[in-house]
């Protein structure tokens, strides 16, 4: 058994620094990994759909294969994020666990509502209105959830990202469907990747 | 309670210092299961229990048991008093290191 040892102040400072670094590494969800995963989903998923509609005159819809690819990509990202989050938060209870449940439930309910609305209005509204619900809707929902998460966990990068996504998705209301896809891919996916870089730098600075 | 310019002897031990710092990285209102804390710190259960008992006696951490049988879970969290004590400890440590670097007495 490790007994109490007489340690100097300098040794204590080193122990504290090591313990803090290790705890942050082991017990915190890696924000850069999460942001980068979703950034690539938006960038490649929406980018692929945009490439498939670029030559359509008039616009019809993204190619089925590009939609399927986006869903597969999102599925992989969701699985990866869940694994990373589960590893980091295993054993942590209390307020954070409650907040995670709130955020997950909001995602699930929000996307269910979005899919229901999209199915309900399909065929009864203009192509542009449907494109807004299908393409900008998920980005808008994601932005609102990041704002909610930022309030719960007091995280400024998440607030900045959420606000930006809401602005980008709202501005899609004035865009044609193809431009909407390109905007969501670049301004949405790009913002996620930018925040991933910022979080990496903040993490390096903190340790 | 230690004097204001002394390192708190309850915290000033390698294992207890690591326990306190680890628990302090959690958000207010969070707790950590005993087994996860043990895994993060790489300690044996007996060793961790001994040090947690000392910290609990000082009012710096709280432990709670929930469930029963195979679902039994012991959780550990840092108390407000513990956070404050760690803040004070850190401030005193910084002062000692500063005074040592400016040619003061060697800190212990």
Domain of A198? 31-206
What was the ipTM of the complex prediction?
0.88
What total of structural domains would you count in chain A?
Answer: 1
Q: Using a CB–CB cutoff of 8 Å, tell me whether A206 touches chain B.
A: no
Q: Which pLDDT score is estimated for B95?
A: 92
Domain of B31? 14-87
Q: What is the largest CA-CA distance in chain B?
A: 58
Whether residue A139 lies inside any domain: the answer is: yes
Q: Using a CB–CB cutoff of 8 Å, tell me whether B97 touches chain A.
A: yes
pLDDT tens digits for A142-157?
999 999 999 998 889 9
User: Is residue A27 within 8 Å of residue A90, measured between CB atoms?
Assistant: no
Which residue in A3, A18, A19 has the most chain B C-beta atoms within 10 A of its own C-beta, making it the best mutation to test that interface? A19
Closest Cα in chain A, distance from residue B93 (Å): 6
What is the pLDDT averaged over residues A130-140? 94
Whether residue A24 lies inside any domain: the answer is: no
- pLDDT at A99 > cutoff 50: yes
Q: Return the DSSP state at A132.
A: I
Report which of residues A174 and A206 the model is more confident about: A174
Whether residue B102 lies inside any domain: the answer is: no
Whether residue A26 lies inside any domain: the answer is: no
User: Is residue B64 within 8 Å of residue B93, measured between CB atoms?
Assistant: no
For residue B40, the domain's CATH number is 1.10.10.10
pLDDT tens digits for A71-83?
999 999 999 999 9
What is the pLDDT averaged over residues A156-184? 95
Whether residue A111 lies inside any domain: the answer is: yes
Tokens representing A151 are 């309030």
Whether residue B40 lies inside any domain: the answer is: yes
pLDDT tens digits for A26-82?
999 999 999 999 999 999 999 999 999 998 888 889 999 999 999 999 999 999 999
- Inspect the interface and report whether the beta carbons of B26 and A7 lie closer than 8 Å: no
- Inspect the interface and report whether the beta carbons of A92 and B36 lie closer than 8 Å: yes
pLDDT tens digits for B48-88?
999 999 999 999 999 999 877 777 889 999 999 999 999 99
- Inspect the interface and report whether the beta carbons of A26 and B40 lie closer than 8 Å: yes
Whether residue A179 lies inside any domain: the answer is: yes
Q: Which pLDDT score is estimated for B2?
A: 66
Whether residue A15 lies inside any domain: the answer is: no
What total of structural domains would you count in chain B?
Answer: 1
Whether residue A53 lies inside any domain: the answer is: yes
What is the pLDDT averaged over residues A173-179? 94
Whether residue A105 lies inside any domain: the answer is: yes
How many CB atoms within 10 Å of residue A198?
Answer: 17
């Amino acid at each position: 058994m490790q007994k109490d040892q007489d340690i100097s102040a300098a040794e204590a400072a080193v122990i504290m620094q090591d313990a803090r670094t290790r705890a942050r590494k082991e017990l915190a969800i890696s924000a850069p990994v999460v942001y980068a995963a979703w950034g690539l989903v938006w960038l490649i998923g929406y980018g692929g759909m945009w490439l498939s509609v670029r030559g359509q005159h008039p616009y019809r819809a993204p190619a089925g294969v590009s939609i399927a690819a986006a869903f597969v990509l999102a599925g992989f990202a969701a699985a990866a994020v869940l694994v990373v989050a589960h590893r980091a938060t295993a054993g942590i209870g209390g307020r954070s666990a409650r907040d995670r449940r709130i955020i997950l439930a909001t995602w699930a309910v929000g996307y269910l509502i979005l899919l229901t609305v999209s199915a309900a209005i399909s065929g009864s509204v203009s192509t542009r209105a449907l494109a807004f619900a299908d393409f900008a809707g998920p980005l808008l929902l994601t932005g609102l959830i990041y704002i909610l998460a930022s309030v719960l966990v007091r995280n400024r990068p998440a607030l900045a990202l959420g606000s930006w996504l809401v602005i980008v998705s709202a501005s899609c209301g004035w865009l044609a469907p193809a431009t909407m896809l390109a905007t969501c891919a670049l301004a949405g996916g790009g913002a996620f990747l930018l925040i991933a870089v910022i979080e990496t730098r903040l993490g390096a600075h903190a340790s | 309670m230690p004097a204001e310019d002394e390192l708190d002897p309850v915290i000033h031990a390698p294992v207890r210092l690591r326990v306190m710092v680890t628990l302090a990285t959690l958000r207010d209102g969070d707790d950590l299961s005993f087994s996860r804390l043990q895994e993060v710190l790489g300690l044996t259960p007996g060793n961790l229990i001994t040090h947690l008992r000392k910290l609990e006696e000082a009012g710096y951490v709280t432990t709670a048991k929930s469930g029963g049988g195979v679902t039994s879970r012991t959780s550990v969290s840092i108390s407000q008093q513990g956070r404050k004590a760690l803040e004070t400890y850190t401030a005193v440590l910084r002062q000692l290191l500063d005074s040592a670097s400016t040619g003061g007495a060697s800190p212990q």
